[in-house]
Amino acid sequence: MSLNVFVTGGASGIGYGIAEYLAKDGHHIVVADINPTAAKSAAQQLTDAGYSAQAVDVDVCNAEQVAALPSRLGGTKVDVLVNNAGVQHVARIEDFPAEKWQQLINIMLVGPALLTQTFLPDMRSRNFGRIINIGSIHSLVASPFKSAYVAAKHGLLGFAKTVALETGDCNVTINTLCPAYVKTPLVEKQIAAQAKENNLTEEQVVNEIMLQPMPKKAFISVEELGATAQFLISEHARNITGQTMVLDGGWVAR
């Protein structure tokens, strides 16, 4: 069955990786991103490869823009919502700009709530929907200098559990994928920022900070996330809801 999959932050990194994986599986992709040029070129890249895709620009924390999405998408009903858009800011709490703290919470916690509010009624009326949040290993553990990110990602788990209870009466599920580090533009920026913050080389940040807590000592790939999403949107995953799927190379087994 071909589903319409709406991926926020779909123009880059994990969002694009999941979009491409599910496009290859025959689903129609809506690449939604705050960067309109990047969204268009990501959708174009998918259609050039012979897959089905369209682009829409949206700031996930702008309530009016999010509420307008169903009419802007025309006839495309959203079956699968992937709440993926995210940003990072690395600073000790004493130096963390208040507006940055607010922005991270807005993008990674308020945004998923607004998008769920927007698409859930139609999913409910058609008795099918899958919501996949992209959390993080930082939904489960903390790292220094990431207070806003860690708070937003922990919050996402509570949000998913609550919506899972509220959607028990229909074939809608909501789950959160929690990867450890994935080599994307977001992480490339963090490597540089952490090197500066900790006075280390970028290679030291990768080996001594990022991969250090992972017994598998490897970055998680976007294909691993795509394949997990593929399972979660299947009919066989209809009773998996409110769950946290951790792809962490064994990080939290310690």
Is 86 or 249 the residue whose CB approaches ligand NAD more closely?
86
Q: Is 107 in the site for ligand NAD (CB under 6 A)?
A: yes
The residue range among 69-77, 82-90, 93-101, 194-202 that interacts with ligand NAD, by the rule CB under 6 A, is: 82-90
16 is annotated as an active-site residue? no
The residue range among 21-29, 81-89, 114-122, 236-244 that interacts with ligand NAD, by the rule CB under 6 A, is: 81-89
Is 163 or 246 the residue whose CB approaches ligand NAD more closely?
246
Q: Can you tell me which of 19, 80, 86, 172 binds ligand NAD, judged by CB under 6 A?
A: 86
Residue in 21, 51, 149, 181 annotated catalytic: 149
Q: Is 160 in the site for ligand NAD (CB under 6 A)?
A: no
- Could you tell me the smallest distance in angstroms from the CB atom of residue 211 to ligand NAD? 11
Q: Is 159 in the site for ligand NAD (CB under 6 A)?
A: no
Q: Identify the CA nearest to 54 among candidates 69, 63, 42, 70.
A: 42
Q: Can you tell me which of 34, 90, 113, 214 binds ligand NAD, judged by CB under 6 A?
A: 34
Q: Can you tell me which of 55, 56, 78, 85 binds ligand NAD, judged by CB under 6 A?
A: 85
Q: Is 35 in the site for ligand NAD (CB under 6 A)?
A: yes
Q: x/- binding map, residues 176-215, to ligand NAD, per CB under 6 A? A: ---x-xx-xxxx----------------------------
Q: Is 157 in the site for ligand NAD (CB under 6 A)?
A: no
Instruction: Tell me the site size for ligand NAD, rule CB under 6 A.
Output: 30
3-state secondary structure the chain: CCCEEEEECCCCHHHHHHHHHHHHCCCEEEEEECCHHHHHHHHHHHHHCCCCEEEEECCCCCHHHHHCHHHHCCCCCCCEEEECCCCCCCCCHHHCCHHHHHHHHHHHHHHHHHHHHHHHHHHHHHCCEEEEEECCHHHCCCCCCCHHHHHHHHHHHHHHHHHHHHCCCCCEEEEEEEECCCCCHHHHHHHHHHHHHHCCCHHHHHHHHHCCCCCCCCCCCHHHHHHHHHHHCCHHHCCCCCCEEEECCCHHHC
Burial 67-96 (b: 16+ CB within 10 A, else e): eebeeebeeebbbbbbbbbbbbbbbeeeeb
What residues are labeled active site?
149
Which residue ranges make up the site for ligand NAD (CB under 6 A)? 8-9, 11-15, 33-35, 38, 58-61, 84-87, 107-108, 134, 136, 179, 181-182, 184-187
